[in-house]
Amino acid sequence: MRIGHGYDVHAFEPGDHVTLGGVRMAHTQGAKAHSDGDVVLHALCDALLGALGLGDIGQHFPDSDPRWKDANSRVFLCHCAQLLREHHYRLVNADITVLAEAPRLGTHRAQMRANIAADLETTPDRINIKATTSEGLGALGRGEGLAAHAVVLLAHAENGNHGHDHGRSHHRHGR
């Protein structure tokens, strides 16, 4: 098993939407970013890369590279999924926290989980998305941007535990 953590933040700029978890949401501002500014997917990618010991998203997708200008961040997540396969790891679960005064995730949450699960070839029950405000404190609290934390747990395909929390078919020790 390997654990990874990721964090990302983007400031707001004039705009009419933000993209979180691959879902475009109407908002009074946009995320200032080289790519689509999806803090959820950027934090998640960093968590996955961290768990694999493969550095960070900036090393894999430099923002100086014109290929990633306005990039759909699901491309980054699919790249991480490919790295997981190459290293014979699979996602046990991901827990993501969005820090923003607005927008509220509300009904978008299910689609965010579905997008992430699809890209990581798993099921939405393994992807949790939480949200919190900063209670008006600091830059995020003043609504100057938004941020996300992500924590992931990976299981190696060869250790007999395929990441099924309740599976017993590979249980070696009995109980």
> Of the two residues 37 and 103, which places its CB atom closer to Mg ion in the complex?
37
Quick note: the x/- pattern for Mg ion over 43-82, rule CB under 5 A, is: ----------------------------------------
> Of the two residues 147 and 155, which places its CB atom closer to Mg ion in the complex?
147
CA 28 – CA 16 distance, rounded (Å)? 5
Beta carbon of residue 38, minimum distance to Mg ion (angstroms, whole number): 7
Per the CB < 8 A criterion, the answer to whether 76 and 57 are in contact is: yes
> Of the two residues 42 and 126, which places its CB atom closer to Mg ion in the complex?
42
Figure out which of the listed residues 8, 36, 46, 119 binds Mg ion, where binding follows CB under 5 A: 8
Instruction: Note the Cα 173 to chain centre separation in Å.
Output: 34
Beta carbon of residue 13, minimum distance to Mg ion (angstroms, whole number): 14
3-state secondary structure of 131: strand
3-state secondary structure of 12: strand
The bridge status of strand 127-132 relative to strand 89-99 is parallel
Q: Which residue has its beta carbon closest to Mg ion?
A: 42
> Of the two residues 8 and 52, which places its CB atom closer to Mg ion in the complex?
8
Q: Where does this chain touch Mg ion (CB under 5 A) — which range of 6-14, 45-53, 94-102, 127-135?
A: 6-14
Figure out which of the listed residues 4, 12, 22, 42 binds Mg ion, where binding follows CB under 5 A: 42
CA 102 – CA 161 distance, rounded (Å)? 39
CA 32 – CA 140 distance, rounded (Å)? 14
Start-to-end Cα distance in the chain: 20
Question: Which residues would be at the binding site for Mg ion (CB under 5 A)?
Answer: 8, 42
